[in-house]
């Protein structure tokens, strides 16, 4: 009897920051991606918003999808050996909630960078209630792993002694093994764990501020109706003469929290497509590389603190949301124009940026093309 | 690689000398070299030469936990934990044999001595030329007339008395086939039962036991007044046997059942009674589980779910009305769902019968037949069910077994679980912010 691989729960933020792939034994033994919190991921399960779907097929049938959670986005590739997944993906309208079980894959171009993606095994449409539950469950499990990694780092123990300690603390032997690997592989782990904790807290806080947000149990169709019902409030738009250029601010093209790139993570420092200047030109022609587009964009100036919804004043989110609706002539709204317009309404760059992120992570807006936003 | 053979040759000569055999050293050296040239392992080569010239079988020294079925000529050193006599009929003759349990630092094993070696409880013995037979599904050490039993100084071998055996174990820790089980249980329910055995009808007691970690079924082959619902009893020298894939506590004639001084209260067993779900990594560690509650996401609905056809004779799932035992039959429709439940820490297959299938999908068998249409397209039903269930959070109860096809739980009840994500998220945020030493956003402007 071969034991089935567990479907780990990891956030996209952690998944895309994983670059340690290993496999033990012969060619038939499974591959594992070890994440910074020690998850030994062969299989994973996640629920998020499908924001992009492209047929890459030049001759062969290959679908690429991006599925966003509140912390980032998973790249999903379905090819000829996943005919059901391909059929399923090709029949979906973006955006929608999807639940995916799949295998962790990596792509390693010659420069030593590692990109992670998912090869789907089973997919289904989901709803906000399933998605919210996934966020809570994943946050809980990730938080537990963070605690275990921290205790491993603080313990000063090594090898079997460390494994014993972790198992005593409630880790499964597999997780304990993953944590040992993570601790010895990842540099600056402490910093990353802090960042990840912050990202998780933000994701959870988004769930707790549920104004205007469909209550659990309602399906996606209901959510969409609600969005459709909300009327644009034109009186919110005020004239502000502020001048705005895209280079000055974070375009917020990705629901990921800001990641300053002045001192990029060592393993990623050579990532060719990572631009700190003009995210709009970040576009790769390589299918496997295409996932880089739109990811990890930064102006390199703003504080790295991820945007938080301001519970007292939800107006910026709503203003941006309304503007997005008003300005959309059918093809979405270019980010630059949206930012300009929002600033005329009295918002700051940071507020616009935060609002867009919040809206994205709540699944209320998405990015049909790079640099263009659209309401759900 | 050159093996230095001189020491091995000396060793062989010495060993042969103890039996009074003298063999020319040159011959031994030549034959040993030859065997090694054939890449025979050194130990195997030595064994074969000893057998050839001195008719000596070197016993292999084993620890109790290493013993496997069919091993012979082994040597074990262990302490007699329990020994009882039993009269058996062998070839129409009455004979007294000795059965019991022995322990070393690696574990406990039951044994049978076919001769009277004068063994007593507590003795530490070295048994040479013993063999292993499977008995009730577990390896058992056997020794008889051709074995050698040497009593060792028992006080010098204190570690052999495994301290763990003194301590009662919790039900969740019990493994299949374990002998010498010491545990404290509360009897949830029990009933006397008449069964037919080879030796005529017999009264046994069956029931369910509970402690703070699990519920398990038990069978006592000897009626005991203590085994009454509500009692807390301490059980020594019971043994575990699997019954329909579930570890079951067995109490036989050598098992002691006594009233426990510290009763198990309702508050001790509240987690088990309330069906608080157990994390899957903890439950899949066990050999089997009885009436457990688990929770997780349905991450895959397996083929063969939905509307199925069974043979009216034997209940086997059949296709095209052909049963592989009963041939062409008029199949009977049934429904089931097989899905993978996964909570991020472990995974297992869950099977729902027709009633529970209807409970979670809303489809009766009639409705499923309607969906399948006139041409009985079963995959349509399966797809519909997959679309309804994949991704849902579910809680269920049932018996878990391990087998050839992996870990399976046959559900006795199932429900979709709903939580309030906002409240759960708020709780977790509170917990995390209480614990985070460095607040996020400060000092993390690093590479990540």
Q: Which of A117-121, A253-257, B16-20, B142-146 has the highest mean pLDDT?
A: A117-121
Which residues of chain A have a CB within 8 Å of the CB of B441?
Answer: 198, 303-306
Cβ–Cβ gap B444/A198 under 8 Å: yes
A214 located within any domain: no
Mean pLDDT of B119-144: 86
Cβ–Cβ gap A1/B342 under 8 Å: no
pLDDT interval class at B381 (50, 70, 90): very high
Structure confidence at residue A175 (pLDDT): 95
Both A47 and A102 in one domain: the answer is: yes
Which residues of chain B have a CB within 8 Å of the CB of A99?
Answer: 297, 390-391
Which residues of chain B have a CB within 8 Å of the CB of A205?
Answer: 425, 429
Structure confidence at residue B73 (pLDDT): 85
CA distances from B135 to A142, B110, B220 (A): 46, 9, 18
For A191, nearest residue in chain B (alpha carbons):
B444
Q: Of B386, B419, B448, which is closest to A133 when you measure between CB atoms?
A: B419
| Residue-range definition of the domain harbouring residue A23 | 7-126
Structure confidence at residue B62 (pLDDT): 85
Mean pLDDT of B386-406: 92
Both A36 and A103 in one domain: the answer is: yes
A202 located within any domain: yes
Asked if A70 and A359 count as a contact pair (C-beta separation under 8 A), the reply is: no
Structure confidence at residue B158 (pLDDT): 58
Within 8 A by CB and 6+ apart from B135, the residues are B110, B112
Using the 8-state DSSP alphabet, how is residue B304 labeled? T
pLDDT interval class at A60 (50, 70, 90): low
A339 located within any domain: yes
Q: Which of A27-41, A214-228, A253-267, B37-51 has the highest mean pLDDT?
A: A27-41
Cβ–Cβ gap A124/B391 under 8 Å: yes
Which residues of chain B have a CB within 8 Å of the CB of A137?
Answer: 297, 343-344, 393
* Higher per-residue confidence, A374 vs A270: A374
Cβ–Cβ gap B421/A207 under 8 Å: yes
Cβ–Cβ gap A191/B402 under 8 Å: no
Q: Of B300, B425, B440, which is closest to A204 when you measure between CB atoms?
A: B425
Nearest to A131 by CA among A373, A375, A362: A362
Structure confidence at residue A330 (pLDDT): 75
Mean pLDDT of A150-179: 93
Asked if B297 and B343 count as a contact pair (C-beta separation under 8 A), the reply is: yes
Cβ–Cβ gap B440/A101 under 8 Å: no
Q: Point out the domain boundary residue: A108, A126, A144.
A: A126
Cβ–Cβ gap A3/B425 under 8 Å: no
Mean pLDDT of B66-86: 85
Q: Of B347, B403, B426, which is closest to A4 when you measure between CB atoms?
A: B347
Both A70 and A161 in one domain: the answer is: no
Cβ–Cβ gap B444/A9 under 8 Å: no
Nearest-CA distance A28 → chain B (Å): 19
For A266, nearest residue in chain B (alpha carbons):
B447
Mean pLDDT of B398-410: 91
Which residues of chain A have a CB within 8 Å of the CB of B287?
Answer: none
Helix axes B378-389, B354-361, angle to 10 degrees: 60
For A45, nearest residue in chain B (alpha carbons):
B299
Structure confidence at residue A133 (pLDDT): 95
pLDDT interval class at A235 (50, 70, 90): very low
For B302, nearest residue in chain A (alpha carbons):
A122
CA B80 – CA B70 distance, rounded (Å): 22
pLDDT tens per residue, range B245-303:
899 999 988 888 999 988 999 999 999 998 999 999 999 888 899 999 999 999 999 99
Alpha helices in chain A (DSSP H): 12-16, 83-90, 128-155, 159-168, 173-185, 189-208, 220-229, 315-327, 335-344, 349-361
pLDDT tens per residue, range A35-53:
999 999 999 999 999 998 8
* Higher per-residue confidence, A95 vs A292: A95
A221 located within any domain: no
Instruction: Using CB atoms within 10 Å of the CB of residue B37, give its burial: 0 to 12 exposed, 13 to 18 middle, 19+ buried.
Output: exposed
Report the range of poorest mean pLDDT among A134-143, B163-172, B208-217, B417-426.
B163-172
Mean pLDDT of B183-207: 90
Both A179 and A122 in one domain: the answer is: no
- State yes or no: pLDDT of A231 exceeds 50: no
Which residues of chain B have a CB within 8 Å of the CB of A14?
Answer: none
A223 located within any domain: no
Q: Per DSSP, what are the bridge partners of residue B397?
A: B293, B413
Question: Average per-residue pLDDT in chain A?
Answer: 75
Mean pLDDT of B140-150: 90
Which residues of chain B have a CB within 8 Å of the CB of A264?
Answer: 447
Nearest to A191 by CA among B445, B437, B433: B445
Structure confidence at residue A254 (pLDDT): 40
Structure confidence at residue B235 (pLDDT): 93
Asked if B291 and B214 count as a contact pair (C-beta separation under 8 A), the reply is: no
Cβ–Cβ gap B425/A208 under 8 Å: yes
Percent of chain A with pLDDT over 70: 71
A222 located within any domain: no
Structure confidence at residue B329 (pLDDT): 92
Nearest to B173 by CA among B78, B43, B288: B288
Both A99 and A163 in one domain: the answer is: no
Mean pLDDT of B117-143: 86
* Higher per-residue confidence, A220 vs A157: A157
Both A266 and A163 in one domain: the answer is: no
Which residues of chain B have a CB within 8 Å of the CB of A143?
Answer: 428, 431-432
Structure confidence at residue B424 (pLDDT): 93
- State yes or no: pLDDT of B414 exceeds 60: yes
Q: Report the SS3 class of residue A216.
A: coil
Omega within 30 of 0 (cis) for the link into A40: no
* Pairing between β-strand B215-220 and β-strand B148-152 as defined by DSSP bridges: unpaired
Cβ–Cβ gap B386/A126 under 8 Å: no
Both A251 and A369 in one domain: the answer is: yes
Report the range of poorest mean pLDDT among A207-216, B8-17, B397-406.
A207-216
Within 8 A by CB and 6+ apart from A251, the residues are A279, A297, A335, A336, A339, A371
Q: Point out the domain boundary residue: A105, A126, A147.
A: A126
- For chain B, count helices (H), then strands (E): 9, 22
Both A310 and A365 in one domain: the answer is: yes
A224 located within any domain: no
Mean pLDDT of A140-158: 94
> B375-383: long-range contacts at Cβ-Cβ below 8 A with a sequence spacing of 24 or more?
B376/B307, B378/B306, B378/B307, B378/B308, B381/B306, B381/B307, B382/B301, B382/B303, B382/B304, B382/B305, B382/B306
Nearest-CA distance B48 → chain A (Å): 34
Mean pLDDT of A118-135: 94
Structure confidence at residue B241 (pLDDT): 86
Both A143 and A253 in one domain: the answer is: no
Nearest-CA distance A156 → chain B (Å): 19
Number of A to B CB contacts under 8 A, please give it: 162
Which residues of chain A have a CB within 8 Å of the CB of B347?
Answer: 4-7
Locate B284 and state its tokens: 């899949």
Please tell me the total count of domains within chain A: 3
- State yes or no: pLDDT of B396 exceeds 80: yes
* Higher per-residue confidence, A147 vs B91: A147
> B370-374: long-range contacts at Cβ-Cβ below 8 A with a sequence spacing of 24 or more?
B372/B307
Q: Of B284, B404, B426, which is closest to A208 when you measure between CB atoms?
A: B426
For A263, nearest residue in chain B (alpha carbons):
B447
Q: Of B387, B441, B447, which is closest to A198 when you measure between CB atoms?
A: B441
pLDDT tens per residue, range B8-36:
888 888 888 777 777 888 888 888 888 88
Nearest-CA distance B430 → chain A (Å): 9
Which residues of chain B have a CB within 8 Å of the CB of A130?
Answer: 391-393
Both A199 and A255 in one domain: the answer is: no
Mean pLDDT of B371-376: 86
* Higher per-residue confidence, A38 vs B89: A38
For A261, nearest residue in chain B (alpha carbons):
B447
Cβ–Cβ gap B419/A45 under 8 Å: no
Both A310 and A261 in one domain: the answer is: yes
Locate B307 and state its tokens: 């509307």
Report the range of poorest mean pLDDT among A11-25, A93-107, B390-404, B422-436.
B422-436
CA A291 – CA B147 distance, rounded (Å): 70
Both A370 and A235 in one domain: the answer is: yes
Nearest to A266 by CA among A192, A200, A193, A194: A192
Structure confidence at residue B162 (pLDDT): 52
Residue found under tokens 């123990």: A157
Instruction: Using CB atoms within 10 Å of the CB of residue B7, give its burial: 0 to 12 exposed, 13 to 18 middle, 19+ buried.
Output: exposed
End-to-end CA distance of chain A: 46
A213 located within any domain: no
pLDDT tens per residue, range B311-347:
999 999 998 889 999 999 999 999 999 999 999 999 9
- State yes or no: pLDDT of A3 exceeds 60: yes
Cβ–Cβ gap A140/B447 under 8 Å: no
- State yes or no: pLDDT of A14 exceeds 50: yes
The domain that holds A93 is classified in CATH as: 2.40.50.140
* Higher per-residue confidence, B14 vs A60: B14
pLDDT interval class at B373 (50, 70, 90): confident
Q: Point out the domain boundary residue: A173, A208, A243.
A: A208
CA B446 – CA A373 distance, rounded (Å): 29
For residue A82, the Cα-to-chain-centroid distance in whole angstroms is 23
Structure confidence at residue B157 (pLDDT): 57
Structure confidence at residue A277 (pLDDT): 41
Structure confidence at residue A255 (pLDDT): 41
Cβ–Cβ gap B435/A147 under 8 Å: yes
- State yes or no: pLDDT of A289 exceeds 80: no
pLDDT interval class at A59 (50, 70, 90): low
Mean pLDDT of B161-190: 82
């Amino acid at each position: 009897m071969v034991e089935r691989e567990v479907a780990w729960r990891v956030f996209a933020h952690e998944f895309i920051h994983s670059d340690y792939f290993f496999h033990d034994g012969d060619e038939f033994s499974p591959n594992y991606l070890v994440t910074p919190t020690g998850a030994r991921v062969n299989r994973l399960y996640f629920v998020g918003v499908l924001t992009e779907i492209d047929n890459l097929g030049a001759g062969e049938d290959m679908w690429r999808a991006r599925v966003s959670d509140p912390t980032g986005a998973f790249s999903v590739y379905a090819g000829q050996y996943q005919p059901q997944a391909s059929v399923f993906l090709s029949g979906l309208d973006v955006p929608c909630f999807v639940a995916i079980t799949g295998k962790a894959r990596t792509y390693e171009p010659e420069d030593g960078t590692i990109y992670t993606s998912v090869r789907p095994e089973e997919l289904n449409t989901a709803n906000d209630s399933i998605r919210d539950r996934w966020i809570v469950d994943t946050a809980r499990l990730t938080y537990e792993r963070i605690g275990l990694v921290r205790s491993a780092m603080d313990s000063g123990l090594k090898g079997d002694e460390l494994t014993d300690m972790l198992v005593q603390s409630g880790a499964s032997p597999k997780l304990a093994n993953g944590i040992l690997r993570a601790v010895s592989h990842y540099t600056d782990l402490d910093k990353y764990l802090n960042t990840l904790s912050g990202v998780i807290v933000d994701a959870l806080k988004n769930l707790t501020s549920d104004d205007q947000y469909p209550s659990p149990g309602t399906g996606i169709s209901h959510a969409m109706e609600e969005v459709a019902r909300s009327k644009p409030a034109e009186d919110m738009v005020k004239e502000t003469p502020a001048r705005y250029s895209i280079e000055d601010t974070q375009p917020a093209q990705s629901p990921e929290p800001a990641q300053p790139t002045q001192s990029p993570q060592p393993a990623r420092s050579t990532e060719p497509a990572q631009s700190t200047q003009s995210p709009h030109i970040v576009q790769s022609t390589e299918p496997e590389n295409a996932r880089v587009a739109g990811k990890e964009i930064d102006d390199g100036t703003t504080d790295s603190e991820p945007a938080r919804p301001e519970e007292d004043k939800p107006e910026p989110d709503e203003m941006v949301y309304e503007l997005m609706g008003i300005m959309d002539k059918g093809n979405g709204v270019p980010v630059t124009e949206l930012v300009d317009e929002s600033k005329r309404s009295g918002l700051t760059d940071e507020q616009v940026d935060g609002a867009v992120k919040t809206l994205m992570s709540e699944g209320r807006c998405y990015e049909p093309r790079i640099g263009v936003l659209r309401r759900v | 690689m050159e093996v230095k053979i001189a020491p091995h040759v000396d060793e062989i000569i010495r060993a042969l000398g103890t039996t009074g055999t003298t063999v020319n050293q040159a011959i031994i050296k030549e034959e040993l070299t030859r065997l090694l040239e054939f890449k025979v392992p050194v130990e195997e080569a030595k064994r074969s030469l000893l057998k050839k010239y001195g008719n000596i079988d070197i016993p292999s020294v084993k620890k109790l936990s290493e013993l496997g079925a069919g091993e012979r000529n082994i040597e074990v050193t262990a302490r007699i934990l329990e020994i009882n006599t039993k009269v058996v009929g062998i070839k129409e003759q009455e004979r007294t044999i000795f059965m019991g349990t022995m322990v070393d630092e690696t574990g406990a094993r039951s044994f049978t001595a076919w001769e009277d070696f004068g063994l007593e409880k507590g003795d530490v013995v070295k048994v040479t030329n013993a063999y292993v037979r499977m008995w009730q599904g577990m390896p058992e050490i056997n020794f008889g007339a051709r074995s050698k039993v040497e009593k060792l100084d028992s006080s010098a071998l204190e570690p052999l008395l495994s301290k763990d055996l003194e301590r009662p174990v919790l039900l969740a820790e019990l493994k299949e086939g374990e002998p010498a089980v010491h545990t404290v249980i509360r009897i949830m329910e029990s009933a006397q039962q008449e069964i037919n055995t080879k030796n005529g009808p017999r009264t046994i007691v069956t029931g369910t036991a509970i402690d703070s970690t699990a519920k398990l079924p038990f069978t006592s082959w000897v009626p005991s007044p203590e085994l009454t619902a509500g009692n807390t009893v301490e059980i020594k020298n019971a043994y575990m046997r699997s019954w329909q894939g579930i570890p079951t506590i067995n109490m036989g004639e050598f098992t002691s059942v006594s009233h426990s001084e510290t009763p198990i209260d309702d508050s001790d067993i509240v987690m088990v009674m309330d069906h608080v779900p157990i994390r899957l990594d903890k439950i899949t560690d066990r050999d089997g589980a009885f009436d457990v509650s688990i929770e997780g996401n349905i991450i895959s609905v397996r083929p063969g779910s939905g509307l199925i056809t069974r043979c009216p004779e034997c209940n086997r799932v059949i296709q095209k009305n052909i049963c592989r035992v009963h041939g062409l039959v008029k199949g009977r429709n049934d429904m089931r769902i097989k899905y993978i439940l996964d909570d991020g820490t472990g995974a297992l297959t869950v099977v729902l019968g027709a009633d529970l299938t209807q409970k979670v999908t809303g489809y009766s068998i009639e409705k499923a037949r309607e969906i399948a249409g006139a041409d009985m397209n079963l995959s349509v039903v399966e797809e519909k069910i997959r679309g309804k269930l994949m991704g849902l959070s579910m809680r269920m109860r049932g018996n878990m077994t391990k087998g050839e096809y992996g870990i399976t739980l046959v559900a006795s009840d199932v429900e979709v679980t709903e939580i309030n994500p906002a409240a759960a998220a708020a709780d977790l945020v509170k917990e995390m912010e209480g614990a985070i030493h460095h607040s996020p956003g400060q000092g993390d402007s690093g590479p990540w």
